[in-house]
Amino acid sequence: MSESDIREERLKKLAKLKKEQIDPYPSNSERTATVAEFLSRFESLLSSSGEETLAGRVMSIRGQGGIIFADIYDGVGRMQIVLQKSEMSAGNFDLFVEAVDIGDFVEFTGVAYKTKRGEQSLKAASWRMLSKSLLPIPSEWFGVKDEETRLRQRYLDLLLNDELRAMFVRRAKFWQAIRSFYLEHGFLEVETPTLETSPGGADARPFVTHHNALDIDVYLRISTGELWQKKLLIAGFPKVFEIGRVFRNEGQSREHLQDYTQVESYEAYQDFAGGMKFVQELFRYIVKNVYGRYSFTVGEHTVDFAEDWPILEFAGEIQKRYDIDLTSSKADDVIRLAMREGATDIPNKQRAADYLWKKARRAISGPAFLTSVPVELEPLAKRSAKNPNVVERMQVIMAGSEIGKGYSELNDPQDQLARFTEQQKMRDAGDEEAQRMDKEFVRAMEYGMPPAFGFGVSERLFAFLENKPIHEVQLFPLLRPKSDS
């Protein structure tokens, strides 16, 4: 039967329930126990013959004649229900046969019962419809196979795929572990604005919308409140962090989405050297608490978080791969090399160097720290005291990609203004990812900002630990609307 034919048949069953003056969508359930609770007390219930009411979605129906077996699932536990005509009112039993389908939510009242095969069950004395389904759920055996359907109708895939459900339980534990780690280390959790008049804290293209009440254009944030959190350091809070949503109007790939969850943190009186130890401890805490292990396979890479993390240098890794010295090479030479390597629309030497690094990193399994990034690529990080052409920034490199970034925060307001000015020139010249001037942030910094270490990591880390594309680890990833034609 086609889906439309099945729906028509179920509409007839719905009408039958209403004709019998049965509400097919009641607002309450009389459930007295979850499946797990019932099974945990099964032996005592078996001996006492005490009645319980269980509820859940009907996942299978089998049997005929005077006995029917149904399996229900309540989101946590699953068990068998036995309906025997001789022990129920004839009308109640017959109505179940005529009106109930796989997919319906039903509650059953009865007693603990063990079948001849020893299966723990509930023998129903009565049942009640909680929600009549009109569309058929796919077979549990075959599940949802088409990838687009799985993402569009994620609720069905989650219902039928235990492995997928377990992954999203791990995702919740992943963010719980991060939150616990920060709280245990004395950080204060904060919330900063999602709508901004000037997007800052990252090199990215923002989403733009209009604020009707104020009659101004505003931007969805591209970082988890970086500049706001630094203002909190200025305000006297020594350790702050935020877990929240970030929005970047850029391309999609296995590693990139336009909206995703990220954590950012800022610690006063700390620098990137101490920050690297902190981040290493954070990552090890996450994998130990969520997965109970340190070693992972990610694509073609093997990553062991328990091993020592080497420290790599930006220019050194590029020279090792391409035999070019960034410090002495002319801009045109670096740009031409990047173009030969497949880059397009490279506006300046800095973006060309960044492109070359992103190709070179693919061979690095890690975990490792990348340091000594050119100052032009990180306008919010403090310059190195040893080499003012680079900044005190570190990135976690894992499985050929960047998984988290942190740096000694720039707290010199004059240097910050000069860097914003240079970024604005790059932006005016066509670099859409260059950061905007933010004079209000510079003004706040002029009141005095302590030395600090800032760090951020997104759900890309979770995707890598699961060895899956990032859209697969979001419950409901954004998809183009399906055409009605």
Do 175 and 99 belong together in one domain?
no
Parallel, antiparallel, or unpaired: how do β-strands 401-408 and 452-458 relate?
antiparallel
* Distance of alpha carbon 101 from alpha carbon 266, whole angstroms: 54
* Domain limit, last residue, from 137, 167, 201: 137
**Nearest partner of 99 among 1, 20, 4, judged by Cα:** 20
Average pLDDT over residues 410-432: 85
Do 171 and 110 belong together in one domain?
no
Do 34 and 179 belong together in one domain?
no
pLDDT for position 215: 95
- pLDDT of residue 440 exceeding 80: yes
Choose between 75 and 328: higher pLDDT.
75
CATH number at residue 57: 2.40.50.140
| 317 occurs within a structural domain | no
| 351 occurs within a structural domain | no
CATH number at residue 194: 3.30.930.10
The SS3 assignment for 432 reads coil
Do 187 and 126 belong together in one domain?
no
**Per residue in 114-137, pLDDT tens?**
998 999 999 999 999 999 999 998
124-143 residues labelled b (16+ CB within 10 A) or e (exposed):
bbbbbbbebbeeebbeeeee
pLDDT for position 199: 82
Do 111 and 214 belong together in one domain?
no
Do 46 and 167 belong together in one domain?
no
**Per residue in 35-90, pLDDT tens?**
999 999 999 999 998 899 999 999 999 987 899 999 999 999 999 999 999 999 88
pLDDT for position 267: 97
Rg (CA), the chain: 29
Do 441 and 390 belong together in one domain?
yes
**Nearest partner of 202 among 464, 407, 442, judged by Cα:** 407
State the pTM of this model: 0.88
Do 302 and 402 belong together in one domain?
yes
DSSP-assigned letter for residue 383: B
Q: Which domain holds residue 264?
A: 158-310+366-473
The tally of domains found in the chain comes to 2
* Distance of alpha carbon 169 from alpha carbon 365, whole angstroms: 27
pLDDT for position 217: 94
Do 109 and 169 belong together in one domain?
no
| 446 occurs within a structural domain | yes
